[in-house]
Amino acid sequence: MACLGLITKARFASRKRKVSHMRDLTAARHKMVQQQLVARGISDRAVLSAMREVPRHLFVDQALLDEAYDDNPLPIGNGQTISQPYMVAIMTELLDLTGKERVLEIGTGSGYQAAVLSRLCQWVFTVERIARLSERARKIIQECGYDNITFLVGDGSRGWPDAAPFDGIIVTAGAPKIPNVLVEQLADGGRLVIPVGDRFSQTLKRVVKIDDRTRVENHTGCRFVDLVGTHGWSDH
Ligand code: SAH
């Protein structure tokens, strides 16, 4: 009996530890939104609420769990990274989503950005060139129960012509220039958000397409891994 009591007690203690750990992570996530996003001027309430909701810690390497809500990008394997929370927020905010859009993401990576987008638009199409990352992202997103995302493995620098046009296109890897083929796949009024520059630093650009004309805006400086493909950098 004493022994059973001990086991039950141990189980209870472990469940309690888990619950308090989850509570810590939720607190860390709310703190991230407040200190890294609100404090730096992110004001779209839907974006803030999506980033309060999506469990970023599930998308990072589990060895880096304690750093999941830190103010920086983290490695996700294959030489790639999950973007810094602030960069995810600013790119998402620039897409100006209302909930009805079809959005193309190029560079699925961990799947975190796709998960955030899925809370804010009607459907997300996400392309990743590394099959292992796409598969990993798909599993995590399934666990989260987000069911409005379609995954594709391939060269996203060509866009996704079969699913075009898109109200929003977000490229989460650095490009040498704005690929025309992506602008062509924007719907009227559509927005393309893309880091453009050299391999070491880029400027986050937003292209707005209205009546077949485009307006290009420059936003913040940033540093992304390479967009590798036909309309990106060559694989070296
Ligand atoms: N959005 C991701 C961050 C991805 S890092 C996240 O939330 O975690 C950039 C990703 O772009 C990498 O996974 C890289 O493999 C991918 N990538 C680079 N070039 C690509 C291309 N041409 N098509 C699709 N994915 C590409």
Q: Where are the domains of the chain?
A: 2-222
pLDDT tens for the chain, residues 1 to 236:
555 566 666 666 777 777 777 779 999 999 999 999 999 999 999 999 999 999 999 999 999 999 999 999 999 999 999 999 999 999 999 999 999 999 999 999 999 999 999 999 999 999 999 999 999 999 999 999 999 999 999 999 999 999 999 999 999 999 999 999 999 999 999 999 999 999 999 999 999 999 999 999 999 999 999 999 999 999 87
Ligand 1 binding pocket includes 37 (Cβ within 6 Å) = no
- Whether ligand 1 lies within 6 angstroms of the CB of 107 is answered as yes
Query: Computed from CA positions of residues 89, 91, 94, 95, in that sequence, does the dihedral angle turn out positive or negative?
Result: negative
Which residue of 125, 225, 233 sits with most ligand 1 atoms within 8 Å of its CB, as the best mutation to test the pocket? 225
Nearest residue (by CA) to ligand 1, atom 23, is 156
What's the pLDDT at 14?
73
Q: How far apart are CA 56 and CA 72, in angstroms?
A: 13
Spatial distance between the Cα atoms of 196 and 68, rounded to a whole number of angstroms? 27
Neighbours of 109 (CB within 10 A): 27
Q: Whose CA is nearest to atom 4 of ligand 1?
A: 109
Atom 11 (ligand 1): residue with closest C-alpha?
107
pLDDT for res 67:
96
At 16, phi and psi to the nearest 5?
-60, -40
pTM, full prediction: 0.93
CATH 3.40.50.150 fits 2-222, yes or no: yes
Q: What angle do CA 202, 164, 227 make, to 5 degrees?
A: 25
Q: For residue 60, what are the contacts with CB-CB under 8 A and spacing of at least 6?
A: 67, 68, 74, 76, 82, 110
Ligand 1 neighbour 82 (Cβ under 6 A): yes
